[in-house]
Amino acid sequence: MKKLFLGVLTAFALAAGGTFAGTLDDVKARGNLLCGVSTGAPGFATVDDSGKDVGFDVDYCRALAAAIFGDPMAVKFVGLTSAVRFTALAAGEVDILARNTTWTYSRDTDLKQTFLGVNYYDGQGFMVKKELGVKSTTELDGATVCIQVGTTTELNLADYFKENGMSYEPVPTADNAESQQQYLAGACDTYTTDASALHGTRVNLENPDDHLVLPEIISKEPLGPLVRHGDDNWADIGRWVLNALVIAEEKGITKANIDSWKDTKDAEIHRLLGTGDDDILAMVGLPKNAMYNAIKAGGNYGEIFENNLGATSGINIERGVNASWTKGGILYSPPFR
Amino acid sequence: MSSPTLPPSESFKFSMLLSDTRYRGMSLQVITFIIFMAVFFWLVDNTIKNLALLDKDVSFNFLWLRAGYDINQRLIPYTSDSTHGMAALVGILNTLLVAFVGCIIATVIGLFVGILRLSKNWIVAKLMSAYIEGFRNVPVLLWIVMVFALLTEFTPAPRAFKGAEPEATMLFFESVAITNRGTYFPAPVLAEGAYWLLLCFGLSIVAVIYFIRYANKQKKDTGKSLPTFWVSSVLIVFPTLILFFAIGQPVSLEYPYLKGFNFKDGIHLRNSFLALTLALAFYTSAFIAEIVRAGIMAVSKGQSEAAASLGLRPNKIMSLIILPQALRIIVPPLISNYLNLTKNSSLAIAVGYMDVRGTLGGITLNQTGRELESMLLLMGFYLAVSLLISSFINYFNRSFQIVVR
């Protein structure tokens, strides 16, 4: 009896004290990837009419799942609000967080997260109803502002209005949907969040033409996927899947033409697609054709952008700074070697 | 302890701890205590180990860092340059405000509904039952969201007050504006001499207290009751009113007016505050009404019959005979309802009200990533407030009960 009791106690202690070191092994053993995404950010993570998860962040996680399992559908999406996302990641409820999250110093250091890179260079903007007649953020003195709690936008907002000597009244909301509802009901004059999310939200409103995203961008919001501290190999995998998608666009590798590169003289492409002799992906514990599968899943970075945020999606966000460095943007991946 | 006749003759053996009824009770308690402590220490140890694994420590230094965010409703000066500790304090005061106002409204409504539910008038009694059952049986979160939706969806935006022929107008001689962002009231502005008014008002209240004591003593000694209500009203209203005009109206009203996007000046009661307070008050009042009803029904029917046979009118029977006895039964469960209301106020984030759960447990927690510390502070706060409320009312209850007996 006593032995049984001690045994149970030890088992409990071991189970609860499990480490996070071997995330890749855990993911493989589970058979699917747990990806934390937004509970509803048009263009980044939403559910389409057929009940399928779609979006820019969703496609990144599908590419990662494809790299690990060869199957882009081997991923389970966990909707997280901005308030619980870091806790969920730290507690191991998700393996990776791809939830339009801004990379900041304190999140990187004090929150003990590892950012894998930037997949979207964003900035905070404001949306207003056209009937207000406001054309610039400098005219927003005294306005009531809807804002999601627990985001960097909240801090930017306070700083921006203070710097410009303007006053405002914050109306805190839990998520994008609630902000939208309050904004439409007129409980706030303007809704502020990342400009990309504003564009995505606007096109889904009943009359998109009644609303205007103001031209000013008041902050830098480099969005990217992140993992928790403590498993560098896992961070490397996530980082290089993201880089592979960027390199693929740079090299012109698309979902459609990915099989036609077998005879190319470009050694980097052979390394990337696993068609050459070296198997450098074994260094992180992935199969040789992992990046081939990742690119095959949803196309290269440019294709994912077009399908979810660009012209094809109807949201019509320009590539701008998010274009490849070869096309005047600032997307630049370190070499794949 | 069931065999007191025989003194223990045999020597003590270890197995007797469980087999002997003299020791069994004690040893079972010791075992339970050890298991409880083991689980407790395992939880603490496990938490510390896991935090170390995540490379996190436990530190409350974040309370002295710059908060960086704004809060709409502040009872004390606060800007985005204030500390997280100040933000928590602003939240605490907002929580206490909702709890205080909510408890008062809930008690008043609860008392009325509880008494009216016992009314002999069929319609009144049934209406009150419907009120109680409706509020008691729907989760309070839904009521909060519902009241908030009513307040924001069916009221005009500040912009509707603009123009030569506005869609909406202010009520009560252009003094009160009900908008979808809250209700604006005129605010009193104190000029020189206003403190004399406050002093005069305070003295009036002291006078009223002394008068009521005198009236009570008079009633005990002679059986005659004085017109307490009328005398108190006159004492409270007239001296202050006369002084107000005598020293040249030192208190004026600052009316809210529309400027830019919103109304300026005046007192702004935000819809988030109104929705949370009203919903919590309505919900809790349904429970209080049932407690009041139970308290009244627990007073023996013979008491009111005896009072009636002495010729007392129904309202006198209620205030002199039944309520004083019912209160003894009502007050203890009332405490737990006050505590419930206070704790339920942590649902504030549903309507964006910045209570302590929203500032310390919401934005601060998120911006600093100090989940454990913030949650410990929050639990400590709610525990302290609950214990304070119950000890205060328990004290009140004790003194009250002794006086009656």
Please report, for residues A37, A201, A246, B256, the alpha-carbon distance to residue A206 in angstroms, rounded to integers and kept in the order given.
Answer: 25, 10, 35, 34
Q: How many whole angstroms separate alpha carbon B201 and alpha carbon B180?
A: 36
A184, closest residue in chain B (CA to CA)? B153
The pLDDT of residue B47: 84
Do A110 and B362 make contact, defined as CB atoms within 8 angstroms? no
- The domain locations on chain A are 22-121+222-322, 125-219
Smallest CA–CA distance, residue B225 to chain A, in Å, is: 54
Cβ atoms of residues A85 and A44 within 8 Å: no
The pLDDT of residue A25: 92
Q: How many whole angstroms separate alpha carbon B306 and alpha carbon A226?
A: 77
User: Chain A within 8 Å of B262 (Cβ-Cβ)?
Assistant: yes
Helix (H) or strand (E) holding A191: strand A190-194
DSSP code of B225? P
Q: How many whole angstroms separate alpha carbon A56 and alpha carbon A224?
A: 11
Do A144 and B262 make contact, defined as CB atoms within 8 angstroms? yes
The pLDDT of residue A112: 83
DSSP code of B25? H
How many Cβ contacts (< 8 angstroms) between chains A and B? 119
> Which residue among A154, A155, A186 places its CB closest to the CB of B157?
A186
> Which residue among B46, B72, B362 places its CB closest to the CB of A17?
B46
Q: How many whole angstroms separate alpha carbon B81 and alpha carbon B66?
A: 6
> Which residue among B38, B49, B180 places its CB closest to the CB of A185?
B180
Please name the residue that has the structure tokens 């203070």: A162
Contacting residues of B for A174, CB less than 8 Å apart: 349-350, 352
Q: How many whole angstroms separate alpha carbon A106 and alpha carbon B84?
A: 15
B261, closest residue in chain A (CA to CA)? A143
The string of DSSP codes covering B333-378 is: HHHHHHHHHHHHGGGGGGGT---HHHIIIIIIHHHH--HHHHHHHH
Dihedral of CA B106/B107/B112/B116: which sign?
A: positive
Smallest CA–CA distance, residue B72 to chain A, in Å, is: 6
- Residues of chain B with pLDDT below 70 are 1-10, 163-165, 167-168, 172-173, 399-405
The pLDDT of residue A110: 79
CATH of B84-158+273-404, one of 3.20.20.150, 3.30.300.130, 1.10.150.120, 1.10.3720.10: 1.10.3720.10
User: Nearest-5° angle of CA A196, CA A200, CA A204?
Assistant: 165
Q: How many whole angstroms separate alpha carbon A248 and alpha carbon A261?
A: 11
The pLDDT of residue B316: 84
Q: What ipTM score was computed for the predicted complex, to two decimals?
A: 0.71
CA B168 to chain centre: 34
The CATH number that domain A125-219 falls under is 3.40.190.10
Closest CA to B96 of B325, B382, B321, B379: B382
Q: What is the amino acid identity at position B35?
A: I
Q: How many whole angstroms separate alpha carbon B102 and alpha carbon B389?
A: 14
A15, closest residue in chain B (CA to CA)? B46
CB within 8 Å of chain A, chain B residues 368-387: 368-369, 371
Smallest CA–CA distance, residue A109 to chain B, in Å, is: 10
Q: How many whole angstroms separate alpha carbon B187 and alpha carbon B249?
A: 15
Q: How many whole angstroms separate alpha carbon A104 and alpha carbon A88?
A: 18
The string of DSSP codes covering A141-187 is: TTEEEEEETTSHHHHHHHHHHHHTT--EEEEEESSHHHHHHHHHHTS
Cβ neighbors of B131 (< 8 A, separation 6 or more) are B113, B286, B289
Do B362 and A83 make contact, defined as CB atoms within 8 angstroms? yes
Do B54 and A90 make contact, defined as CB atoms within 8 angstroms? yes
The residues that bridge with B177 in the sheet, in sequence order, are B184
> Which residue among A155, A169, A187 places its CB closest to the CB of B69?
A155
**How many CB atoms within 10 Å of residue B243?**
17
Query: Cα(first)–Cα(last) distance of chain A, in Å?
Result: 59
Closest CA to A305 of A34, A39, A40, A63: A63
User: Which own/partner pairs from B201-207 qualify as long-range (CB within 8 Å, at least 24 positions apart)?
Assistant: B201/B236, B201/B240, B203/B239, B204/B235, B204/B236, B204/B239, B204/B240, B205/B236, B207/B235
- Residues of chain A with pLDDT below 50 are 1-20
Smallest CA–CA distance, residue A323 to chain B, in Å, is: 31
Do A171 and B261 make contact, defined as CB atoms within 8 angstroms? no
Which of A104, A154, A162 is the best substitution to test chain B (most B C-beta atoms within 10 A)?
Answer: A154
Cβ neighbors of A65 (< 8 A, separation 6 or more) are A32, A33, A35, A71, A72, A73, A74, A75, A297
Verdict on whether the full-model pTM lies above 0.80: no
B154, closest residue in chain A (CA to CA)? A185
The string of DSSP codes covering A18-81 is: --STTHHHHHHHHTSEEEEEESSBTTTBEE-TTS-EESHHHHHHHHHHHHHHS-TT-EEEEEE-
Cβ atoms of residues A70 and A287 within 8 Å: yes
Residue pLDDT, tens place only, A66-104: 999 999 999 999 999 887 888 899 888 999 999 989 898
Q: How many whole angstroms separate alpha carbon B154 and alpha carbon B183?
A: 13
B160, closest residue in chain A (CA to CA)? A186
Contacting residues of B for A157, CB less than 8 Å apart: 70
Contacting residues of A for B184, CB less than 8 Å apart: none
A186, closest residue in chain B (CA to CA)? B157
Q: Which CATH superfamily is domain A22-121+222-322 in?
A: Periplasmic binding protein-like II (3.40.190.10)
Do A158 and B352 make contact, defined as CB atoms within 8 angstroms? no
- Pairing outcome for strands A113-115 and A46-47: unpaired
Do A9 and B157 make contact, defined as CB atoms within 8 angstroms? no
Smallest CA–CA distance, residue B97 to chain A, in Å, is: 19
DSSP code of B322? I
